[in-house]
């Protein structure tokens, strides 16, 4: 299992995944989503965006902590061998 710290920016003009934010869980992947922070919509959009950016199916990425926070922890239960490289590329700002 791999845990990914994520900083969600709801209400963005579009969906973007990339960059690094120093959050309470350590370095966090920045995920901007168009969805508002209402009724879990931004969280669901962020889960989809991270799964797409990492080339994983949506069901492979789950919320571990931070349902009502911009700072979240996502998990990937059965990560591919190159997941660390995929994440590192996104931290670099690509996305």
SS3 label, residue 78: coil
Domain that holds residue 61: 2-90
Q: Does residue 95 sit within a domain?
A: no
CATH number at residue 7: 3.30.1200.10
Q: Note down pLDDT in tens along the chain; length 95 residues.
A: 999 999 999 999 999 999 999 999 999 999 999 999 999 999 999 999 999 999 999 999 999 999 999 999 999 989 999 999 999 999 984 44
> Structural domain tally of the chain?
1
Nearest to 85 by CA among 53, 40, 57, 63: 53
Q: Does residue 74 sit within a domain?
A: yes
Residues 6+ apart with CB under 8 A from 88: none
**Which pLDDT does position 91 carry in this prediction?**
92
């Amino acid at each position: 299992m791999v845990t990914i710290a994520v900083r969600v920016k709801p209400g963005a003009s579009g969906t973007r995944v990339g960059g690094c934010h120093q959050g309470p869980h350590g370095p966090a992947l920045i995920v901007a989503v168009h969805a508002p922070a209402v009724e879990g919509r931004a969280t669901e959009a962020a889960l989809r965006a991270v799964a797409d950016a990492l080339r994983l199916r949506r069901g492979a990425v789950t919320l571990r902590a931070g349902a009502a926070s911009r700072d979240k922890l996502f998990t990937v239960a059965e990560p591919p061998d190159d997941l660390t490289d995929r994440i590192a590329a996104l931290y670099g700002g690509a996305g």
